[in-house]
Amino acid sequence: ENDILEKLPLKGRKILVTAGPTYEAIDPVRFIGNHSSGKMGFDIANEAAKNGAEVILISGPTHLKTENSQVNLIRVTSAQEMYEACHLYYKDMDVAIAAAAVADYRPKNVADQKIKKTEATFTIELEKTEDILASLGEQKKNQFLIGFALETENEIEHAKLKIQKKNLDLIVLNSLNDKGAGFGQPTNKVTFIDSNFTIEPMDLKSKEAVAFDIINKIIQHYEA
């Protein structure tokens, strides 16, 4: 078995992957979240491990599990916890892939008791969460940094801006325009854009196949 592992293309590489949604507490029993299943990030983590990498998978709440012993799963709840977990490992990593659907905002104040329905209308003030991927871009040394982008308009332009703003090497643009793509679906239609703004539209395919394509990009990067 060791002989086989030696020949794997990502042998010796350390890869950090974020996955899933984050939950932002409103009070002890309520939160703000989203419909991310975590599947894209888990598929990437498993594909990286299959190719010999040592994987740190930092995931928000999901029912998914991983059986691969090369995948070290760290479960977190909020964006702040995901941020802290990422920075604990990032310095040692060769690659980081941000596949999590991190909440952009969280309640500014978290009630320490369950909120009672006394008011006719009720407003929650929100504040921005830390942009985890942007912070990884700021602290980038030699890491190959991959982000995702979800856009509903001017998607190529917006994705290019995210590459620059977050100091990325590659962005995986998720197209919602095509039927069968996105949250809760088994398939994704993605476009790769690299830091030279080379655009590569991919076919609609399973999330496993998209994960395979992303891992191939990393393998190609280290072969070049």
Q: Is 165 annotated as a binding residue?
A: no
Task: Please report how close the Cβ of residue 89 comes to ligand CTP at its closest, in angstroms.
Answer: 14
| 192 is a contact residue toward ligand CTP (CB under 6 A) | no
Residues 48, 6: contact at Cβ < 8 Å?
no
| 56 is a contact residue toward ligand CTP (CB under 6 A) | no
Q: Site for ligand CTP (CB under 6 A): how many residues?
A: 15
Q: Using CB under 5 A, which residues numbered 90 to 119 contact Ca ion?
A: 104
Between CA 200 and CA 168 the distance in angstroms is: 16
Closer Cβ to Ca ion, 104 or 208, answer by number = 104
Instruction: Residue 58: name the closest of 32, 106, 10, 93 by CA.
Output: 93
Q: List the beta bridge partners of residue 191.
A: 173, 201
Q: Which residue type, as a one-letter code, is found at position 66?
A: T
Q: Using CB under 6 A, which residues numbered 130 to 149 contact ligand CTP?
A: 131-133, 147-149
Find the catalytic residue in 34, 68, 72, 167.
Answer: 34
How many angstroms from the chain centroid is the CA of residue 193? 16
Token code pair at residue 114: 């369950």
Q: Dihedrals φ, ψ of 101, to 5°?
A: -95, 80
| 104 is a contact residue toward ligand CTP (CB under 6 A) | yes
| 79 is a contact residue toward ligand CTP (CB under 6 A) | yes
- Output the CA–CA distances (angstroms, integers) from residue 117 to 24, 25, 27, 29, in the order listed: 20, 17, 13, 14
Q: Examine the residue annotation and report whether 142 is marked as an active-site residue of this protein.
A: no
Q: Using CB under 6 A, which residues numbered 15 to 54 contact ligand CTP?
A: 18
| 102 is a contact residue toward ligand CTP (CB under 6 A) | yes
Token code pair at residue 134: 């942007």
Question: Could you list the residues that contact Ca ion (CB under 5 A)?
Answer: 104
The residues annotated with a catalytic role in the active site are: 34
Question: Could you list the residues that contact ligand CTP (CB under 6 A)?
Answer: 18, 79, 98, 100, 102, 104, 129, 131-133, 147-150, 162
